[in-house]
Structure 1
Amino acid sequence: MMWLFAVLVVLAMAGVALVASGRGGSMPPAHDDRPDLALPTDRAIGAADLRAVRFPLAVRGYRMSDVDALLARLATELEDGRGTSSGDLDRA
């Protein structure tokens, strides 16, 4: 009975070695499961685009309420035509 277990262990180790060496086939490419932000690429981003953006959740990320508040403010400023200059963004 002990020989049977020894043979099974050796076969299992040989199977692991074959898979580790790549002979068992390769793994499929990694699938990115994060949702796309769906921002337009053929035109400038508008206020409605900013209001529709939703970021994916992450374990270590930003608080959703902070991101939503900033996007709402940027959308309002774009609607009102009060966009900040690039110098204002550098100081933030």
Structure 2
Amino acid sequence: MFWFLLIAMVVVVAAVTLAVIGGSDGAVLSDASPELPVDPLPAARPVGRADIEALRLPMVVRGYRMSDVDDVLGRLGAELAERDARIAELEAALAGARAAAVNDEGPGR
């Protein structure tokens, strides 16, 4: 019984090995094409909350592809910096307008 199981196991391993390497014609399995992000961030407009929620990065053997994650984080960082600068600009303009309004309503008027 032992020899039968040993021979059966060798046959199964050989069959799986031949199936993986492509049999007797010498063809090797082709490389899988890399996955691309399913919902890339829009290039023509600012990124919105719905874009981030819909974004799906492709999985690789050990997690996510670092270049895809770096691209997304770089884009989000640049957009946040733009928004922070715009908010600071608007707040400065609002403070200037309030100061001008207070000066126009001075104590002598």
Do they superpose with TM above 0.5? no
Q: Which has the higher contact order (CA 8 A, sep 6+)?
A: 1
Determine which structure has more spread, i.e. the larger CA radius of gyration.
2
TM-score (norm 2): 0.37
Instruction: Tell me the TM-score normalized by structure 1.
Output: 0.41
